[in-house]
A = this chain, B = another copy of it.
Amino acid sequence: MKHLTGIQHLDSDQLNMLLDTAERIKECEEDYAGILQGQCVANLFFEPSTRSRFSFEVAEKRLGAYVLNFQEATSSRQKGESIYDTLKTLEAIGVKAAVIRHSQNGLLDDMHPRIGLALINAGTGNEEHPTQCLLDLLTIKQEFGCFRGLKVAIVGDVHHSRVARSNYYGLTKLGAEVYFAGPPCLNQAGASWVPRGCWYPFDELVEEMDVIMMLRIQHERHEQALTLSKADYHQHYGLTEERARRMKKGAIIMHPAPVNRDVELASTLVEAPQSRIFKQMENGVYVRMAVLYHLLGPAAKRQVQPVNKGAFPLGAFPGT
């Protein structure tokens, strides 16, 4: 694996390998401390972020890497430098991986063949957010042990959500069944990647699902303002306390956060026993450490050897 641009390009072996590594790091983190000592990772967030931004930085530092935090407003982007030239610059000064969040779909796919450092997608447009998917997968795996036959509902602003899309790819590759619900006004035109017949009224799903994954309303990516009031959204498409009471025993609530409290989710549910929202964040650090480990760690260096799918399967897939 040279880059991590999207879940779409990974197969189930690669997904499982990343999840296994994340679990191993969680169990014996001290074995991984300092494993990236002397390697430099840059974080380039062109859109606001708290969780992804800082959990990447924590992951990088726990592995011993040193970290550059790029900020567009104080960079040579102000003098017209392109993102491609910015990345080539970072490569030239010794940066080994760049973690990138940007509003533009396809940004990394266009560039990665010409860039020597490892590109890690931390959210692009409404396209992919692969490490969010990995942390969601890890949270589900911790809860249920496996994915085959699990029923997962993804609910809300599906069309504008890169989280939904990456999770759809990841969950189905690992054998889960994915159902969708959400306001037609947001999803009607888009989300073309959702197969026909996968949309349901939320109330039909609530009692059947093992996982209810609520999505943030992506106001920043809406072409026009949402006409639904917050209260109406909550009542029709939100996880209300009433809906939560109807959930299956053992089912869990997920949300990529930040939560619009009392819109997507009743505020009281955020820290409720069925919620895994903070567990998701905690897992975010481990999956990001796993990604960095596979891209920059000792295994990565051996990719010049003849490809050995068993040990380093990601190296074997030209698509990644």
List the interface of chain A (C-beta within 8 A of B): 33, 38, 40, 42, 45, 48-51, 53-55, 57-58, 61-62, 66, 68-71, 73-81, 85-86, 88-95, 216, 219-220, 257-260, 270, 278-279, 281-282, 284-285
Question: Chain B residue with minimal CB distance to A48?
Answer: B78
Which of A50, A78, A95, A258 counts the most B-chain CB atoms under 10 A from its CB?
Answer: A50
Evaluate contact between B61 and A49: CB separation under 8 angstroms.
no
Contact yes or no, A282 B48, CB < 8 A: no
B278 and A90 form a contact (CB under 8 A): no
**Which of B54, B70, B258 is within 8 Å of A93, CB to CB?**
B54
List residues of chain B with CB within 8 A of the CB of A285: 93-94
How near does chain B come to A267, taking the closest CB pair, in angstroms? Answer: 10
Set of chain B residues within 8 Å of A48, measured between Cβ atoms: 73-79
A257 pairs with B74, CB closer than 8 A: no
Give Cα A86 to B51, complex, Å. 8
A49 touches B66 (CB 8 A): no
Query: Are B50 and A58 in contact (CB-based, < 8 A)?
Result: no
Number of copies of chain A assembled together: 3
Are A50's CB and B66's CB within 8 A?
no
- B76–A50 contact, CB under 8 A? yes
Q: Would you call A89 and B51 a contact (CB within 8 A)?
A: yes
Contacts A38-B33, A49-B76 given; indicate if A282 touches B54 (C-beta within 8 A).
Answer: no
A45 to B50, alpha carbons, bound, how many Å? 14
**Contact, CB under 8 Å: A92 / B281:** yes
Residue of B nearest to A85 (CB): B258
Q: Are the CB atoms of B81 and A258 closer together than 8 Å?
A: yes
Are A76 and B51 in contact (CB-based, < 8 A)? yes
Question: Contacts A61-B66, A66-B61, A216-B79 given: A284-B93 contact, CB under 8 Å?
Answer: yes
**Residue of A48, A57, A78 ringed by the most chain B CB atoms within 10 A:** A48
Kindly list chain B residues whose C-beta atoms are within 8 Å of the C-beta of A55.
Answer: 93
Q: Is the CB of B93 within 8 A of A282?
A: yes
A284–B90 Cα gap in the complex (Å)? 12
Residues in B neighbouring A279, C-beta threshold 8 A: 92
Contact indicator B68/A50 (Cβ below 8 Å)? no
The CA-CA distance from A38 to B61 in the complex, in Å, is 9
Q: Which residues of B contact A75 (CB under 8 A)?
A: 48-50, 53
A78 to B258, CA, bound (A): 10
CB <8 Å contact, A86 and B40: no
**Which residues of B lie under 8 Å from residue A61 when comparing CB positions?**
40, 66
How far is A270 from B257 in the complex, measured between Cα atoms in Å? 42
Residues of B within 8 A of A78 (CB): 48
Query: Which of B68, B88, B95, B281 is A278 in contact with, Cβ under 8 Å?
Result: B88
- The residues of B that contact A74 with a CB separation of less than 8 Å are 45, 48-49, 53, 71
Interface centre among A49, A74, A93 (most CB of B within 10 A): A93
